[in-house]
């Protein structure tokens, strides 16, 4: 009444299940590699930048994302007042700060 289709009887099903398992193992391995090569380092870099922004204080020398060097004159909850030249003070968000710099770089 029923005919067996070649390749699907007995051993064929076991092979198909084995291929599915190895596919998922390889997919999981690729996801792990993607996580450790791209996502994790980016999160660590972002955390380091967030910590630097939280530690900003009056008198710190900074470099903005726009490439402007300056010295912090006032720190508020979300913004900074940065002196970039004589009689020139800019107001900017804290997220605009790229990094702290040394005295030599800012001059």
Answer yes or no: do 61 and 102 share one domain.
yes
Mean confidence (pLDDT) of the chain: 85
Lowest average pLDDT, out of 12-26, 27-41, 54-68, 73-87, goes to 12-26
Answer yes or no: do 17 and 41 share one domain.
yes
Domain membership of residue 102 (yes or no) is: yes
Number of domains in the chain: 2
Answer yes or no: do 47 and 83 share one domain.
no
Answer yes or no: do 51 and 32 share one domain.
yes
CATH of the domain at 100: 2.30.30
Q: Which domain holds residue 43?
A: 7-55
Report the C-alpha gap between 55 and 5 in whole angstroms: 70
Answer yes or no: do 72 and 100 share one domain.
yes
Report the C-alpha gap between 101 and 69 in whole angstroms: 8
Which residues partner with 88 through β-bridges?
85
Q: What is the pLDDT of residues 44-79, one digit of tens each?
A: 999 999 999 999 999 999 999 999 999 999 999 999
Answer yes or no: do 43 and 65 share one domain.
no
Helices (H) and strands (E) counted in the chain, each on its own, are: 3, 5
pLDDT of residue 75: 95
With CA atoms as reference, report the closest residue to 75 among 95, 51, 57. 57
Q: What does 61-97 look like in DSSP terms, one character per residue?
A: EEEETTS-EEEEEEE-SSEEEEEEETTEEEEEEGGGE
Answer yes or no: do 13 and 51 share one domain.
yes
């Amino acid at each position: 009444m029923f005919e067996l289709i070649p390749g699907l009887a007995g051993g064929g099903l076991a092979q198909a299940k084995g291929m599915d398992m190895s596919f998922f193992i390889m997919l999981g391995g690729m996801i792990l590699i993607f996580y450790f090569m791209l996502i994790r380092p980016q999160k660590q870099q972002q955390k380091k930048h967030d910590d630097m922004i939280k530690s900003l204080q009056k008198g710190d020398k900074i470099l903005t994302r726009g490439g402007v060097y300056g010295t912090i004159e006032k720190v508020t909850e979300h913004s900074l007042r940065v002196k970039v030249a004589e009689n020139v003070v800019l107001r900017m968000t804290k997220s605009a700060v790229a990094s702290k710099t040394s005295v030599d770089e800012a001059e």
